[in-house]
Amino acid sequence: MKRFWLVFSQAVTVLVAAYFVVATLKPQWLDRTPTMSNVVALLEAPATAPGAVPAGSFRIAAQRASAAVVSISTSKASRQNPSSRDPWFRFFYGEQGEENQSGLGSGVIVSPNGYVLTNNHVIEGADEIEVFLNDSRHGTAKVIGTDPDTDLAVLKIELDRLPVIVLGNSDQLEVGDQVLAIGNPFGVGQTVTSGIVSALGRNQLGINTFENFIQTDAAINPGNSGGALVDTNGNLLGINTAIYSRSGGSMGIGFAIPVSTAKMVLDGLVKDGQVTRGWIGVEPNDLSPELAEAFGVQAQAGVIITGVLQNGPAAKAGVRPGDVITRIGDRSVADVSQLLSVVAALKPGAPARFSVTRKNQNLEIEVTPGVRPRPKVPSPER
């Protein structure tokens, strides 16, 4: 027992001595209170685990949508000038080259069957269309149909295991919502830019016959046409179509066709080869004080009808010149562009309720739309 206590006391003595030496020479080894350097190190340490998505990142949305966004390359055979064989023409203008014209754009795969939505102006007049996927595959595309009135076109590619974008709901968009624009600007390769919805229902831009654009400040540049405007979940909201620019580059004002319009055009072109739109046979004008006074109406808003086609759908329903259309169904009508878009969306043969102001009376008229006549395309000069 005496020996045990002797060993214990010697061990305690050694430990106390060791503690004294360490406390004298290396006190920081014993200091467990946080220092400023320790606090800074903790603050600078990564807040997320490796591979985790940082807060505020659009990585997931970009990854989901990018696979279904394609680059489109078009080529058009050169058209030889009829006078190129004239010796005098060659003397003054030299030999005219016969190089093919090429173009670049973007598109979106919307079906596993290979249907691709893009802009009509991207593929218009092209003799050959090549589609390039984000996974390096490519193939020649066939034109299923075009709709110049909305500047949309549908292509088809024959490739398997195609990525398909998810269609979103553009009718639920609000100004200020975050969006991404994906395309192939200037042919540099697929690019993702971000921004917000700047405005909705933009029309009277003189770009298309039927205009109901989503305006965004997400950078859209030449080559982005036909690409995707998506939400923060990667769902398709619109087809990028045009920009307002004085320099040719993005100035923060870009326009996209809503996916609701694109889906209607897609269904029509795939099923029937054409888009069937409603038509009522009237000559509309934006309501102005001068027109209101001329026709003796007291309406403050709406679209005034200055002409009605004899035996047309509107005439048969009782619409008269001087009537002001304020609402169609549950949608209000404020200008001519809006009237054209709402009427075009009506199903031919299905009666629709029109709210009309005639003089100082409010009327409800049921109009059965017909099929909008296709515009006559002038034959090319020979």
Catalytic residue among 106, 121, 170, 323: 121
Which residues 6+ apart lie within 8 Å of 226 measured at CB? 72, 105, 106, 107, 108, 117, 118, 119, 122, 183, 239, 240, 241
Q: CA 343 to CA 370: how far, in whole Å?
A: 10
For 252, other C-beta atoms within 10 Å of its C-beta total 15
Asked whether the beta carbons of 132 and 139 are under 8 A apart, the reply is: no
The pLDDT, as a whole number, for residue 382 is 31
Strand partners, 57: none
Residue 27: alpha-carbon gap to chain centroid: 65
pLDDT of residue 210: 77
For residue 18, the model assigns a pLDDT of 72
For each successive 10 residues of the chain (382 residues), what is the average pLDDT?
Answer: 67 70 61 52 55 80 93 81 59 55 89 94 91 92 92 94 94 92 89 93 77 89 90 94 75 89 92 88 91 86 92 93 92 86 89 92 92 61 34
Domains, the chain, in order of start with CATH, read 170-272 (2.40.10.10), 278-371 (2.30.42.10)
- Could you give the C-alpha distances from 378 to 203, 208, 375, in angstroms and in order? 26, 18, 9
Maximum CA pair distance of the chain? 130
Q: Does the active-site annotation cover 111?
A: no
Question: Over the Cα atoms of the chain, what is R_g?
Answer: 33
- DSSP letter at 52? P
Q: So what's the pLDDT on residue 39?
A: 46
> Which residue in 364, 373, 374 sits closest to 309, CA to CA?
373
Q: For residue 240, give the amino acid letter.
A: N
Whether 121 is a known active-site residue: answer: yes
Which of these is catalytic: 147, 149, 151, 217?
151
d(CA 297, CA 341): 24
User: Which residues, in sequence order, are bridge partners of residue 109?
Assistant: 116
H runs (alpha helix) in 26-129: 36-44, 59-66, 87-93, 120-123
Which listed residue (66, 106, 225, 337) is catalytic? 225
Within 10 angstroms of residue 15's Cβ, the number of other Cβ atoms is 10
Q: Tell me if 268 sits within 8 A of 274, measured CB to CB.
A: yes
Beta-bridge partner residues of 183: 191
User: What 3-state class would DSSP assign to 141?
Assistant: coil
One-letter amino acid for residue 101 of the chain: Q
Known catalytic membership, residue 151:
yes
pLDDT of residue 284: 92
